[in-house]
Amino acid sequence: MSTVINSIDRWSPAERAGVRPGERLLSINGHKVVDVLDYRYFGYDRDPELLLEDVNGTWRRVQVEKEEAEELGLNFDTYLMDEPRPCSNHCLFCFVDQMAPGCRETLYFKDDDARLSFLMGNYITLTNLDPREVQRIIDLRISPINVSVHATDPKLRSILLGNKAGADSLDYMRAFADAGIVMNGQIVLCPGYNDGEQLQRTMEDMAAWGFASCSVVPVGLTQFREKLAKLRPVDRACANAVIEQVDAFGEICLKKYGTRMFFCSDELYIRAGRPIPEEAYYEEYVQIENGVGMLRSLISEFEAGLRLETEPVNASRFTIATGVSAAPFLWELVQKAELEIQGQVIAIENDFFGHSIDVAGLITGRDLIRQLKGRDLGARLLIPVNMLRHGGDVFLDGLHVSDIETALEIPVTVVEQDGFDLLDAMLERKE
């Protein structure tokens, strides 16, 4: 734990109050500060009192003048003010265990940290929590918490997570439900394990426990599964059966609770060979971060942007490189444009992880180079932002966007997961 203040934002309430770098933050308004959750929760109030300790062990109290919800302006050695908590599970379907050698170092670290769930939306299994931490979440009434549920049968959940605590942590979900903590869920569907009757039980339990929403996503299997559990991929028949089951229960939830609550990911619709549902189905895209409605949102925004186009277009030829699953949808958008632009869409096969992995977010820089080298790409290359590390320009294998530009001798435009941004990129309006 490190609550030592590393730096202070210029012109912030803390700077005006005379707080100094190097001091340790002990408490806010008498509440002990252990980590970032305490800091953010207790620091939310108007005009808080800070208890500080200097390097000599001397304590002092400082009254800070600030508005409610205004940031104090303190920075610490780490974002969490603590070390991230590693995952204690051995999930049968864990993607990190299937990572190839040679990827970015951070991709081999498995976190299962409740604080990252609250602050960054990460999904956690709750097996890392102890009763004291559960009570702290309830006492602070921090919501939402995003939970990787997978199954609510205690024995099955323990098997799927490879952890006996998988059964015990179901009690935490009930406790959060009783306390009014908002929960969003995720089910990674593993055929033969948590589909069929088990999926039905899981959905019914989660609905009874008051989950706000839940995504159902197919298990991802790479070619690097030596000595791991034998799992079947979700095929067309399985995907169709799951969609029918989830949508049938979703209709029941819609009538009873006013929300479908359970949504299948875009990937399931693609594998089933079914059209993506219309926008109203997704209820304001409550599970879009899990790939639920991402394609529908992209299509709707792109079409809305097209309707606003009235000026002549003068854009150079381009190529869009994306995953196999999204390529047909992007090609339809290129054709829908019906403007004086010339573009093509190339689906990149995932040689790195295996061809069963067909999403754009797991394409490496080397696969891009290998499959695009020597082809007529036009004047520019467009790639989706989810190929890159969040907030950066690095691919899974450590290559940078600049490496792609050098190898292919073409400028690369990174496109946000946004239909308007895609249209601007196609029309050569992005800087």
Q: Find the CATH number of the domain harbouring 242.
A: 3.80.30
- Provide the residue type at 183 as one letter: M
Question: Do the beta carbons of residue 62 and residue 20 sit within 8 Å?
Answer: no
Residue 257 lies in a domain: yes
Share of the chain above pLDDT 90, in %: 69
Q: Is 185 helix (H, G, I), strand (E, B) or coil?
A: strand
pLDDT of residue 215: 97
Q: Which two tokens stand for residue 365?
A: 């820089």
User: Do 255 and 307 fall into the same domain?
Assistant: no
Q: Which two tokens stand for residue 149?
A: 């549920």
C-alpha distance from residue 373 to each of 75, 165, 273, 342, 377 (Å) = 45, 49, 31, 20, 9
**What gap in Å lies between CA 326 and CA 426, rounded to an integer?**
16
pLDDT of residue 99: 77
In the 8-state DSSP scheme, what is residue 380? E
Question: What's the start-to-end Cα distance of the chain, in Å?
Answer: 42
User: Do 55 and 19 fall into the same domain?
Assistant: yes
User: Do 55 and 190 fall into the same domain?
Assistant: no
Residue 88 lies in a domain: no
Q: Tokens 């290129």 correspond to what residue?
A: 334
User: Do 54 and 163 fall into the same domain?
Assistant: no
Residue among 217, 235, 136 at smallest CA distance from 179: 136
Counting the structural domains of the chain, the total is 3
pTM of the model: 0.82
**What gap in Å lies between CA 6 and CA 366, rounded to an integer?**
39
Three-class SS of 38-57: HHHHHCCCCCCEEEEECCCC
Per-residue model confidence as pLDDT tens digits over 111-169: 665 566 555 567 888 998 888 888 888 988 888 889 999 999 999 999 999 999 999 99
Question: Do the beta carbons of residue 146 and residue 173 sit within 8 Å?
Answer: no
Residue 81 lies in a domain: no
Question: Do the beta carbons of residue 30 and residue 42 sit within 8 Å?
Answer: no
Residue 21 lies in a domain: yes
User: Do 138 and 193 fall into the same domain?
Assistant: yes
In the 8-state DSSP scheme, what is residue 113? -
User: Do 251 and 393 fall into the same domain?
Assistant: no
Question: Do the beta carbons of residue 194 and residue 121 sit within 8 Å?
Answer: no
Bond into 144 cis (ω within 30)? yes
User: Do 118 and 40 fall into the same domain?
Assistant: no
User: Do 190 and 234 fall into the same domain?
Assistant: yes
Question: Do the beta carbons of residue 156 and residue 193 sit within 8 Å?
Answer: yes
User: Do 12 and 107 fall into the same domain?
Assistant: no
What is the DSSP pairing of strand 59-63 with strand 412-415?
unpaired
Residue 85 lies in a domain: no
Burial class (CB in 10 A: 0-12, 13-18, 19+), 384: buried
Residue 376 lies in a domain: yes
Residue 307 lies in a domain: yes
Find all residues with CB under 8 Å of 352, minimum gap 6, and list them: 100, 362, 363, 364, 366, 367, 396, 397
pLDDT of residue 191: 97
User: Do 162 and 218 fall into the same domain?
Assistant: yes
Instruction: Decide which of 291, 318, 349 is a domain's last residue.
Output: 291
Residue 183 lies in a domain: yes
Instruction: Decide which of 76, 104, 133 is a domain's last residue.
Output: 76
User: Do 329 and 203 fall into the same domain?
Assistant: no
Q: Is 394 helix (H, G, I), strand (E, B) or coil?
A: strand
User: Do 287 and 351 fall into the same domain?
Assistant: no
Burial class (CB in 10 A: 0-12, 13-18, 19+), 62: middle
Chain centroid offset of residue 119 CA: 12
What is the extent of the structural domain holding 372?
298-426
CATH number of the domain to which 44 belongs: 2.30.42.10
pLDDT tens digit at each of 431 positions of the chain:
578 999 999 999 999 999 999 999 999 999 998 888 888 888 989 999 999 999 999 999 999 999 998 999 999 887 767 776 777 788 898 887 787 777 766 665 666 655 665 555 678 889 988 888 888 889 888 888 899 999 999 999 999 999 999 999 999 999 999 999 999 999 999 999 999 999 999 999 999 999 999 999 999 988 888 888 899 999 999 999 999 999 999 999 999 999 999 999 999 999 999 999 999 999 999 999 899 999 999 999 999 999 988 877 788 999 999 999 999 999 999 988 866 678 999 999 999 999 989 999 999 999 999 999 999 999 999 999 999 987 789 998 889 999 999 999 999 999 999 999 999 999 998 77
Instruction: Decide which of 258, 291, 324 is a domain's last residue.
Output: 291
